[in-house]
Chain A
């Protein structure tokens, strides 16, 4: 579980996060939604410790980031897995080397054990026969799978994904969403996903936090988002007629 209390983050004179508080449960798929530029990536990078908020508190399973020393922070980072927006695979390494990288850095496993563990997670993300290819030789969807495999190979407690299905075709996007959702339940981890994909919101959003202009505008589940009358949320989520119809059908069915 991650608890966030009133975090503020500025770059120079522009305040990007203006006091956000919320919490993310273990074993749940949590979504951060909002328009481009609303601060989703900055928020995620604060949770990862890549940005230091000027104010506020982030607590990971009862341990506040601010109270940890450098060793504890390094330890915490090894409990985190991150899937970057552009996958961020190391382009000089093959698929399997990418997945083995966190193990080579931090585990005491033998080379064979590492390769075995990497193969298991690659199989879990349904990627076979690509182990010795370079990232530039595989498709965007496959790169995402490798990125997910790399993020979970060290058995993280927290999984962060920045727009995991941007740049993917709708079908692959759904497959990737479901994969992350399944892994979250299977491994019982705290997953936080940045997205502006409404499909993900409705399918896998067990908790949704809506950011607008650096504030938390709304939060709730994917059931509640059908019923909310918060104007900013409805304007954003139901900007397309298709999703309006989905909502109307959902509400008509008497939920």
Chain B
């Protein structure tokens, strides 16, 4: 029951987020601040994780090819496919559900607990628009983050394959180019946009509607991480079925 109720409240929240807009001169600053916190602040960890995941995918693939009939360029091919289709968009988004998601929930939740949200409302500010809308706009830059993750993942795979002696550079690069399907990239970026929206709104929902004190802020962050991840996994499944199935 509570799940259905939350589902309904989530959509009511979204409607409110896109109505009664805050003055543009204020909104502009808020958006820049969110870009700094949510996008720029996440680049380091994303680059780090993507690079090593790409490397591991390349090594795993190479180790599993012991049949001499399978071409060596398969290492590059598999790395490209795994990184572009799943690791960069989906895996990275789950990491972001932890990093960005819990940050959003705890910062909005703290504002709820300390009555800062009430203070906004008293002044006649649409607090949902003020708090959530700039996050949605900032996260529309998320595809750039994922593009960087893709690049770093493939770079990591190349370094691991070439310097680990699993494949030559020429073979790896041949694999990267074999059977390249533009639609796969479109598919990956479509997912990314949907995940960005989920990352901005579900954690906001858990922060905005929380009740209680500091302890509950922690609990809300945990629920937020769980449900953001679940939503990303389900959206991933549905989009894959719809676009590739």
Contacts and interface: CB of A to CB of B under 8 A. Distances in A.
Interface of A: 45, 48, 50, 74, 77-78, 80, 82, 84-86, 88-91, 101-102, 104-106
Interface of B: 22-23, 25-26, 110, 114-116, 118-119, 121-125
Contact of B123 (A85, A91, A101): A101
Contact of A88 (B22, B25, B26, B119): B119
Contacts of B115: 84-86, 88
Contacts of B116: 88-91
Nearest to B29: A104
A105 B121 contact: no
Contacts, number: 45
Contact of A77 (B22, B114, B123): B123
Contacts of A45: 118
B118 A105 contact: no
B118 A50 contact: yes
Contact of A48 (B22, B25, B26, B122): B122
A90 B118 CA distance: 11
Contact of B23 (A80, A90, A105): A105
B114 A78 contact: no
B29 to A, nearest CB: 10
Given A88-B114, A88-B115, A82 B122 contact: yes
15 contacts: A45-B118, A48-B122, A50-B118, A50-B121, A74-B124, A78-B123, A82-B119, A82-B122, A88-B114, A88-B119, A90-B116, A104-B23, A104-B25, A105-B22, A105-B26
A48 B25 CA distance: 27
A105 B123 CA distance: 9
Contacts of B118: 45, 50, 82, 84, 88
